[in-house]
Amino acid sequence: MNEKGCGGGRKKRGKELVFVALGGLGEIGMNVYLYGYGRQDARQWMMVDCGITFPEGENDPGIDVILPDVRFIEENRADLAGIVLTHAHEDHVGAVIELWPRLKAPIYATPFTAGMLKAKLAEYGRGLELPIHVVPLDGKFAVGPFDVELVTLPHSIPEMSALAIRTPAGMVFHTGDWKIDETPMITEPVDESRLSALGDEGVLALVCDSTNAFREGTSPSESDVAQSITEIIKGAKGRVAVTCFSSNVARIKTVADTARETGRHLVVAGRALHRVIDVAIDTGYLPQSFRYLDQDRFSDLARRDVVLLCTGSQGEPRAALARIAAEEHPAISLAKGDLVIYSTRAIPGNEKAVGRIQNSLARIGCNLLTDSDALVHVSGHPRRDELRQMYRWIRPEVVVPMHGEARHIQAHAALAREMGVRDVFPVLDGEIVRLAPEPAVVDDAPVGRLFRDGRLLIAEYDGPVRERRKLSYVGIVVVTICLSRGGEVLGEPQAILDGVPHETADGDAMFDVVLDAIDGTLRSVPTKRRKAPDLVAEAVRRAVRAAVGDVWGKKPVCKVLVSVIDN
């Protein structure tokens, strides 16, 4: 049943429990979810996570990070009771600092997640103070009409907390990111009895991770990866460099333990890794005795005596591995025969950037090892058998697949129906689902993206990025013309061509093609009509674009500046 677009207005409804995503349904990343309870015109809201995603190369030129457009809840922020963070991955918390001034709601997080947010705030917060409430693992607390119980689940970062959200309309189990792992290294395995008890209590709705909804079977354990990496490093004869997600504390511990066992020194390069290690030590996930060398010590060590742990697994251009591959790092260099282990998998959209860096490393002569070659990485998300097991524990009445592209969400929806769930909603960002009473898609919320462009946040529909995309394909021609008040042309028009070919196919100068178009247009416009600068500018703009288009096959961006001078 879909109640959107009912003619003749909408009926006033009683108190409802609704769900809507402002990011995370239809993409990998930028997770931000809202639960609302109350009458349609008087709901109280709870936000779960507020993350970022990353630009897709040529599609987002000049953009550093992409944040969710939260104007829907910003307009209702007086009714936003709190922001609950499931874990500290950037696609779940990366937008909190920049968007909190628009939301101004209390933040709830476990110690490690809070520690990561505070560490980032100290670096980038510009004096901003956030009301962070530190909640114990598996703790319980109230956020407006929502009674929240944290349920720790294994993932690729400490303290991933699913949420059992109890409301007068029923319980929602919001999984966050998770997997089933019997030996997860630094956290506890899944508490099956606790999940079964929630199912026995009665779960109205399951809102569940869809990332690996195509993959059959069960994910390998983090301890299996640790054993494999250890054996690989033990067999290496030269330097070993390992790159992984900086937040994967278990992987950091594995590399450090292996370095110690093999008599190598651990060198760490990358600010994000330093930050994670500090927080992990403070919260007990790494021992107080954890030691490593800074990158400045790298050149002091013999090749056989070093394991390098570095950032840059996703092809980030300013990360340590990118600079090493470009042979531009101030302290670290790799050589022929050195081993580089990619203990990660490329996030969708990052494949080209990762491939460029791997090619650069191959040109140096490094040996590359990825998860296609050996068990050096395992996903932190559930495969299909793990999803089926979660359904057997929780036994929900309603399912909303989350955290995935549209194809992942559809695959998860099909699995939910296979498991006997009748009310399944494979919705995308902005679609408001009423979970109770009478589950249905009932409305739409405005959604979109904000681009972090240098120090500014710019809405995607404001235009600068679209303009840059066009510039990257067709270049620009800038024309300046001086006119008198009476419409006489003063001096010679000037033109600058940037990103446009210098010559035509016949060898004629493109600059001359532009000047001829300008001159011809100015001669064709009567003097009286040249008293209107806007008319002249538009006529010249059209003529230049058409002339270049005729000889090039592409029409450049053209800007015409007309100055009117009292002579």
- 60 Cα distance to chain centroid: 13
Same domain assignment for residues 498 and 440: no
Selection from 88, 127, 123, 91 nearest residue 107 by Cα: 88
- Interatomic CA distance for residues 426 and 442, integer angstroms: 14
What the block records as the tokens of 428 is: 């995308």
Question: Taking a C-beta distance cutoff of 8 angstroms, is the pair 249, 158 a contact?
Answer: yes
Distance CA 262, CA 246 (A): 22
Q: Is 269 within 8 Å of 239 (Cβ atoms)?
A: no
Strand, coil or helix: 250: helix
Residue 103 lies in a domain: yes
Which position has the higher pLDDT, 265 or 7? 265
pLDDT of residue 1: 45
What average pLDDT is seen over the chain? 94
**3-state secondary structure labels for all residues of 475-543:** CEEEEEEEEECCCCECCCCEEEEECCCCECCCCCEHHHHHHHHHHHHHHHCCCCHHHCHHHHHHHHHHH
Do both 359 and 490 map to the same domain?
Answer: no
Q: Which two tokens stand for residue 29?
A: 């990343």
Q: Which of 408, 384, 51 is nearest to 247 (CA)?
A: 51
> Among 341-355, 367-381, 411-425, whose mean pLDDT is lowest?
341-355
pLDDT-based confidence at 60, cuts 50/70/90? confident
Average pLDDT over residues 163-180: 98
pLDDT in tens, 321-352: 999 999 999 999 999 999 999 999 988 778 88
Task: Give the pLDDT band (50/70/90) at residue 501.
Answer: very high
Q: Is residue 154 part of a domain?
A: yes
The residue segments making up the domain with residue 512 are 475-565
Claim to verify: residue 488 and residue 517 sit in the same structural domain = yes
Average pLDDT for 269-280: 97
Mean predicted confidence (pLDDT) in 512-530: 94
* pLDDT of 57: 62
Q: Is residue 499 part of a domain?
A: yes
What's the mean pLDDT in 50-73? 85
> For residue 231, what is the domain's CATH number?
3.40.50.10710
Is pLDDT above 80 for 409?
yes
Per-residue confidence band for 182, with pLDDT thresholds at 50, 70 and 90: very high
132 beta partners: 107
Residues 64 and 183 in one domain: yes
Overall domain count for the chain: 3
- 9: confidence class by pLDDT, cuts 50, 70, 90: very low
Residues 266 and 337 grouped into a single domain:
yes
Residues 296 and 202 in one domain: no
What is the distance between the alpha carbons of residues 258 and 266, in angstroms, rounded to a whole number? 9
Kindly indicate the confidence band of residue 63, based on its pLDDT and cuts at 50, 70 and 90.
confident
Domain boundary among 318, 334, 369: 369
Same domain? 498 vs 452: no
pLDDT of residue 465: 78
Is the residue at 8 inside a domain?
no
**pLDDT-derived band at 173, boundaries 50, 70, 90:** very high
Mean pLDDT of 132-156: 98
Q: Domain boundary residue among 337, 369, 401?
A: 369
| Half-sphere exposure for 173 (CA within 13 Å, toward CB) | 28
468 located within any domain: no
Within a domain: 549: yes
Do 499 and 434 sit in the same domain of this protein?
Answer: no
69 in the same domain as 210: yes
Residue 10 is assigned to a structural domain of this protein: no
Q: What is the mean pLDDT of residues 8-19?
A: 74
The CATH number of the domain holding residue 451 is 3.60.15.10
More confident residue, 2 or 465: 465
Kindly tell me if the per-residue pLDDT of 56 is higher than 80. Answer: no
Separation between Cα atoms, residue 9 and residue 14, nearest integer Å: 16
How far apart are the C-alpha atoms of 322 and 243, rounded to whole Å?
11
Closest by CA to 501, choosing from 539, 565, 552, 456, is 552
CA distances from 130 to 161, 279, 431, 499 (A): 21, 18, 30, 45
How much is the average pLDDT of 526-550?
94
- Cα distance between residue 339 and residue 365, in whole Å: 9
334 and 453 co-located in one domain: no
Last residue within a domain, chosen from 344, 369, 394: 369
Same domain, 391 and 353: no
Average pLDDT over residues 178-196: 95
> Hey, what are 314's tokens?
């996703």
In a domain, 470, yes or no: no
- CATH number, domain containing residue 537: 3.10.20.580
Q: Tell me how far apart the alpha carbons of residues 478 and 110 are, in angstroms, rounded to a whole number.
A: 55
My answer on whether 248 and 359 are in the same domain is yes
Instruction: Tell whether the model's pLDDT for residue 4 goes beyond 80.
Output: no
pLDDT at 274 over 80: yes
Cα separation, 210 vs 404, in Å, equals 5
Residue range 69-88: mean pLDDT, rounded: 97
Looking from the CA of 109 toward its CB, the CA atoms found within 13 Å total 24
Nearest to 552 by CA among 499, 481, 478: 499
Yes or no: say if 85 and 47 are a contact pair by the CB < 8 Å rule.
no
Structure tokens at 503: 């010559």
What percent of the chain is predicted at pLDDT more than 90? Answer: 86
Task: Determine which of 113-122, 330-339, 345-354, 382-391 has the lowest per-residue pLDDT on average.
Answer: 345-354
Q: Are 206 and 387 in contact (CB under 8 A)?
A: no
